[in-house]
Amino acid sequence: MKRAVLAFVVALTTLTATVASAQEESAKLRWSGLTTNRFWDNWEVAAAFGNSFLGVSSDDPGKFKDRNSWNANISFTKWALPTLGMRLQLDGGQFQNYSLDPATYGDGLFHSPYVFVHGDILVNLSNWIGGYRDDRIYYAIPYVGFGVTTMNFTGSTGSKNTEYALSAGMLHKFRVSRQWDIELDTRTWVLREGSLAPEIRGGGKYAVTFSASIGVAYRFNKRHWTPALTEVDVAGYVAAIAELSEDLAVADAEIVEIAAVAAKLNDDNKSLKAQLAECNKVQQQPSTTACAMTEGVVFFNIGEAKLTDYAQATLNGYIATLKDGSANLTVTGYADKETGNAAINERLSEERAEAVKVYMVKHGIAAERITTKWVGDTEEAFTSPATPIVNRCAIIE
């Protein structure tokens, strides 16, 4: 029994060290575009109950059904990759066989309890062949392992025996939720026949056991695998960032140009206010006397005829200088030739002129004082600076 306990401790220590070493650089490991998880992710604990059968000779006496008995097991599994896992299992149960030497031992049915502690390497064929899928329902998982078995430790059928054994089998997993699986485990293990009780030995060198159990497994902590960025993905992101940086540089340049135009408009607005003040000094009939006015400019976004907040603020200042006058006004719409085509730009310049007129009428300028016209992209409102943005406008004269 001491050898079984020692083997259990060694197997558990080896499993922990192996998994920790495999995941020490978890951010760098890859499998089919997936990153490995942390040490405490993708663990499973399972418990199952089933049937055991011991074969020692082709001449085993007794009916087949009489030579079947029970087994139960508990296991701990760590998946280092979607295709590779390591399991530590404690399997216990009972074999029952008739003796091949009834003259010596009698013709009764002998019961031989056992404990088998073993570590297994599991390969998830479903993920290997079909690729990792988080929504897969069935998994076929073959495995091989090595461990130590102890039999007859109750002293009921002979001396105590502890031997090493090899195991192999197929684990069938059926996923019922993100946390729970149903498992069907069919396995065999080979051991030295000398470890069996004398009553049930067959006279050969090795004995083979067969068992099947069904149970449940609980998966805890992180239960899935995270896609990793490929070199193609990273290159694409770098290229996208470079493109965005270029776009931001162009936008910054346009902002500088717009700021210069805004400064000029501010100066024009100050000039208009000064002229208005001068007109008010000499006006005898404010409602009928016309004052000389300089032109006003309203800028639009590319492809739009909608007045922005900035354009409305510009018009508000301009309208304030015109309400008390009677001069007729002409609103001319423009479009830049760098974007769109002639037909689109013709319509766009018309909509811009009409948008300015509607806003001015809404804010107190008589409609009969305003005439609109539009030139599309056939004329330029400004030739300097040489940028399309300055010709996306309407000019009031």
Q: Which of 227, 244, 269 is the last residue of a domain?
A: 227
The CATH number given to whatever domain includes residue 215 is 2.40.160.20
Same domain, 219 and 306: no
The CATH number given to whatever domain includes residue 362 is 3.30.1330.60
Nearest to 78 by CA among 34, 38, 48: 38
Q: Output the pLDDT for position 147.
A: 94
Q: Which of 227, 246, 266 is the last residue of a domain?
A: 227
Its pTM stands at: 0.50
Same domain, 266 and 221: no
Same domain, 201 and 245: no
Same domain, 242 and 258: yes
Q: Name 157's Cβ contacts closer than 8 Å, sequence gap at least 6.
A: 110, 111, 112, 197, 199, 200
Domain that holds residue 355: 231-396
Same domain, 269 and 311: yes
The angle at the Cα of 89, spanning 74 to 137, to the nearest 5 degrees, equals 70
Same domain, 157 and 74: yes
Exposure letters 13-51 (e unless 16+ CB within 10 A, then b): eebeeebeebbeeeeebebeebebbebebbbbebebebe
CA-CA distance, 141 to 279, in Å (whole number)? 95
The full 3-state SS of the chain, as one line of letters, equals CHHHHHHHHHHHHHHHHHHHHHCCCCCCCEECCEECCCCCCCEEEEEEEEEEEEECCCCCCCCCHHHEEEEEEEEEEEECCCCEEEEEEEEEEEEEEECCCHHHHCCCEEEEEEEEEEEEEEECHHHHHHCCCCCCCEEEEEEEEEEEEEECCCCCCCCCEEEEEEEEEEEEEEECCCCEEEEEEEEEEEEEHHHCCHHHCCCCCEEEEEEEEEEEEEEECCCCCEECCCHHHHHHHHHHHHHHHHHHHHHHHHHHHHHHHHHHHHHHHHHHHHHHHHHHHHCCCCCCCCCCCCCEEEECCCCCCCCCHHHHHHHHHHHHCCCCCCCCEEEEECCCCCCCCHHHHHHHHHHHHHHHHHHHHHCCCCHHHEEEEECCCCCCCCCCCCCHHHHCEEEEC
Same domain, 149 and 186: yes
One-letter amino acid for residue 205 of the chain: K
Q: Are 97 and 67 in contact (CB under 8 A)?
A: yes
Q: Output the pLDDT for position 197.
A: 75
Same domain, 245 and 216: no
Determine if residue 199 is left, alpha or beta; phi over 0 gives left, psi from -120 to 50 gives alpha, anything else beta.
alpha
Number of independent structural domains in the chain:
2
The angle at the Cα of 36, spanning 34 to 40, to the nearest 5 degrees, equals 145
CA-CA distance, 370 to 360, in Å (whole number)? 9
Q: Are 189 and 212 in contact (CB under 8 A)?
A: no
Farthest CA pair distance, the chain: 144
Q: Which of 227, 256, 281 is the last residue of a domain?
A: 227
Same domain, 194 and 266: no
CA-CA distance, 99 to 120, in Å (whole number)? 32
Query: Which ranges of the chain have pLDDT less than 50?
Result: 1-2, 4-30, 157-159, 284-293
Same domain, 147 and 276: no
For residue range 92-125, what is the model confidence (pLDDT) as tens digits? 998 888 777 777 777 778 888 889 999 999 999 9
Q: Output the pLDDT for position 5.
A: 46
Same domain, 124 and 39: yes
Same domain, 213 and 259: no
